[in-house]
Structure 1
Amino acid sequence: MKKTIVMAAAATLLWVGLPQAQDQPHYVGDQTCAQCHEEIHERFMQYSKKPHSFQGVEKLQDGLSPQELQDCYACHTTGYGQPGGFTDPVSTPDMKNLGCESCHGPGSVHAETEDPQDIRGKITVQDCQRCHNEERVRAFNFQPLIHSGAH
């Protein structure tokens, strides 16, 4: 019984986005990226729609079931359900919009090593299709914008 409780507690810690083990890549947030990539981050914030992606969720959330809301989180937040990623607007407000890591992947290792090999550098249409797939494009008419106003 005690082992089950400990395992459940560990799973809960992962789910709520608490700091992860250093060897496991995890999401670190845009402010970490901005420390080294200031100009790119400024352009992203100024020209891209992604830093405001959660506004669409907020406008529609009252009419959504909990499952529908979670489906929205998958494409409108950074790292939803992943280590260090978005869990909810109160616990992880800095991850509630789409950020650098939404396209480039978890940045913890890259932030530590500063090695370009430790992050997805070149983004392709295939990277966008996690959210901008045929079904969603038809439903919402949102086409992928590979550089998203940042690069």
Structure 2
Amino acid sequence: MRRAAVLLAVAVCLVPLLAVSNALSAGYTGSKACAECHQKEFESYSKSAKKAHSFQSIQIMASKLSPAELQECYACHTTGYGQPGGFISVEKTPQLANAGCEVCHGPGEAHAQSGDKSLIKSKLSVEQCQACHNEQRVKSFGFKPMLYGGAH
């Protein structure tokens, strides 16, 4: 009887942890889902950010690139490529075919469903931008991160 009570207590304590774990592992939803609550930011991003149309660069270059080179492009020019729930192809995941909000802020499905601000990255640093925007990748682009570039 005592053992059953201990197991029940442990189970009750683990349920909230499993819920948080599932929420954090949720997938990508696409930038249009962000627009429902963040209209001003979405409009500014859509108009001002080159990332909002980044897949066009891949389409322009695709015929000159090998499949392996294309995959390298997907890492920065799409949302969540190579991650669970991320970009697969234009046919299967068209909502992730550009570098959207979730590239910087992380997978947003759990945040969009719950509204819980702790389930999304809200404060970003230049160091985080440098995962894609670094001298090796964008030497000729004159990189200016979005947090200073006026798209938010």
Contact 1:77/1:96 (<8 A) preserved:
yes
CA distance in 2, matches of 1:144, 1:25: 30
TM-score by length of 2: 0.78
Once the two structures are TM-superposed, the CA of residue 123 in structure 1 deviates from its matched residue by: 1.4
* Deviation at residue 113 of structure 1 after TM alignment: 2.3
Q: Note the C-alpha offset of 1:126.
A: 1.1
What's the secondary structure of 1:36's corresponding residue?
A: coil
Q: How far is the alpha carbon of 1:133 from its aligned partner?
A: 1.8
Whether contact under 8 Å (1:132, 1:142) holds in the other structure is no
Identify unmatched segments of 5+ residues in structure 2.
Answer: 1-20
More helix by share: 2
Distance 1:108 1:122 in 2: 18
Contact 1:124 1:146 in 2 (8 A): no
Partner of 1:117: 118
Q: Distance in 1 between matches of 2:36 and 2:135?
A: 35
Question: Residues 80-125 of structure 1: CA distance to partner in whole angstroms, max 9, x if unpaired?
Answer: 1212211111111111011110110101221122122211101111
Aligned residue number for residue 146 of structure 1: 146
- Number of residue-to-residue matches in the alignment: 130
1-side partners of 2:151 and 2:116: how far apart? 20
Q: Distance in 2 between matches of 1:42 and 1:31?
A: 10
What value does the CA root-mean-square deviation take over the aligned residues? 1.7
Question: Which of the two has higher C-alpha Rg?
Answer: 2
Equivalent position SS for 2:61: helix
- Residue type of the alignment partner of 1:39: K
Unaligned runs of 5+ in 1: 1-20
Task: Using the TM superposition, give the Cα deviation of residue 142 of structure 1 relative to its aligned residue in structure 2, in angstroms.
Answer: 4.5
- Using the aligned pairs only, state the percent identity: 48
Q: Aligned partner of 1:29: which letter? A: G
Q: Deviations over 1:57-99 (max 9, x none)?
A: 1111101010000000000001112122111111111110111
C-alpha change, 1:25 and 1:77, in structure 2 (3 Å) is same
Is the CA contact 1:47–1:150 (under 8 Å) kept in the aligned structure 2?
yes
